[in-house]
């Protein structure tokens, strides 16, 4: 009788373990690239990107055309020029990683134009920095709604765009590139303090012709430690955008636009994506994008 009961108990436990193992196998999440319409934007050849390089900017650069020691104008390196290896790839844990040396100012620019999307990017800092950032924080960025010619902003390296900044302790900040403009929920500047994004504040006008300036800091620092990956999400829909760092909304933006040569405000809701090289070594992985037909419900109320 005892042996029979023990046998039944053992059999039941075995069935439970088998079922548990089987169920966990069946419900394990799929790789992200296969879910919900995501498109992976990285491959080992960077086939979905162009490369643009401008200059090795020097200390004291003031936005003017760079010149050599004789005063002659230095031309930018340009588009897709071989031999510089600022952007390369390698495999790590069965995933393609982009290495950005940062030695030259420039960018990876997507070949495709995107509108109404959710973009996700993971980044991690390297160890190296270059002039003119040797004594400054490591810096890069995601430039979205990018259009027109390269080299039209202060550093003569990027297209007109809106910037989701990547920077030590400042990922999620906003910069206007060239004549772009946008409205951000933020505290007003006071006594020389930069405006800071904050949900619940009124929208302030930033960028070209904006009374709040061309720069806004994120609401808080949610970055991972320097040797770990930080996940950034950019949600863009009909001129509205959200800067999200490790799942936390750090900036709420709307009314994306640029100011044309006639001083008219023109809607700016689509364009290429640029990933900056800006005098600091870093790594990107997990770059993926999917189209959206509305703002996710959990974020729509942020604009009310």
Mind listing the pLDDT tens digit of every residue in the chain (304 residues)?
A: 333 443 443 443 343 333 333 333 333 322 333 356 999 999 999 999 999 999 999 999 999 999 999 999 999 999 999 999 999 999 999 999 999 999 999 999 999 999 999 999 999 999 999 999 999 999 999 999 999 999 999 999 999 999 999 999 999 999 999 999 999 999 999 988 999 999 999 999 999 999 999 999 999 999 999 999 999 999 999 999 999 999 999 999 999 999 999 999 999 999 999 999 999 999 999 999 999 999 999 999 999 9
Residue 221 located in a structural domain: yes
Question: Could you tell me the residue range of the domain that residue 246 belongs to?
Answer: 32-303
CA distance 103 to 54: 11
Among candidates 126, 92, 118, which has minimal Cα distance to 277? 126
| Residue-level pLDDT at 36 | 66
15, part of any domain? no
Q: Which two tokens stand for residue 289?
A: 């994008």
Cβ contacts of 206 within 8 Å, gap of 6 or more: 174, 176, 181, 182, 183, 184, 186, 195, 212, 213, 214, 215, 216
Predicted local confidence at residue 192, as pLDDT? 86
Specify the number of domains making up the chain.
1
Phi-psi region of 192 (alpha: psi -120 to 50; beta: other; left: phi over 0): left
Does residue 45 form part of some domain?
A: yes
What are 129-132's contacts with CB under 8 Å, separation 24+? 129/102, 129/279, 129/280, 129/281, 130/56, 130/102, 130/103, 130/279, 130/280, 131/56, 131/57, 131/58, 131/59, 131/279, 132/57, 132/58, 132/59, 132/60, 132/61, 132/279
Cα Dmax for the chain:
102
Backbone φ and ψ for 193, nearest 5 degrees, come out as -80, 135
**Which pTM does this prediction carry?**
0.88
What's the CA gap between 140 and 143, in Å, rounded?
10
Residue 12 counted as domain residue: no
Q: What share of the chain is helix, strand, coil (3-state, %, to 5)?
A: 10, 45, 45
Per the domain annotation, does 192 fall within a domain? yes
The structure tokens 């037909």 sit at: 293
Q: Which two tokens stand for residue 197?
A: 């994004």
pLDDT number for residue 163: 98
Residue 240 sits in a domain whose CATH number is 2.60.120.560
């Amino acid at each position: 009788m005892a042996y029979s009961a023990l046998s039944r108990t053992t059999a039941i436990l075995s069935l439970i373990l088998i079922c548990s193992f089987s169920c966990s196998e069946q419900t394990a999440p799929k790789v992200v690239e296969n879910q919900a319409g995501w498109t992976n934007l990285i491959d080992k050849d960077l086939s979905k990107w162009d490369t643009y390089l401008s200059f090795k900017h020097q200390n004291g650069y003031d936005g003017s055309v760079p010149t050599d020691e004789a005063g002659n104008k230095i031309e930018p390196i340009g588009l897709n020029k071989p031999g510089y290896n600022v952007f390369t790839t390698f495999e790590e844990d069965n995933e393609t990683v982009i290495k950005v040396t940062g030695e030259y100012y420039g960018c990876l620019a997507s070949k495709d134009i995107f509108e109404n999307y959710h973009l996700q990017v993971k980044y991690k800092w390297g160890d190296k920095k270059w002039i003119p950032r040797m004594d400054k924080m490591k810096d890069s960025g995601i430039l979205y709604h990018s259009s027109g010619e390269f080299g039209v902003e202060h550093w003569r390296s990027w297209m007109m765009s809106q910037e989701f900044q990547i920077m030590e302790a400042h990922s999620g900040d906003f910069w206007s590139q060239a004549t772009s403009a946008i409205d951000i929920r933020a505290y007003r500047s006071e006594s020389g303090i930069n405006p800071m994004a904050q949900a619940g504040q009124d929208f302030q006008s930033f960028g070209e012709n904006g009374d709040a300036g061309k720069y806004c800091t994120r609401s808080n620092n949610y970055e991972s430690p320097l040797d770990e990956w930080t996940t950034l999400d950019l949600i863009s829909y009909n001129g509205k955008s959200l800067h999200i760092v490790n799942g936390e909304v750090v900036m709420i933006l709307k009314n994306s636009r640029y100011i044309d040569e006639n001083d008219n405000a023109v809607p700016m809701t689509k364009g290429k994506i640029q990933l900056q090289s800006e005098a600091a070594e870093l790594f990107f992985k997990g770059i993926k994008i999917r189209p959206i037909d509305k703002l996710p419900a959990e974020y729509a109320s942020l604009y009310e």
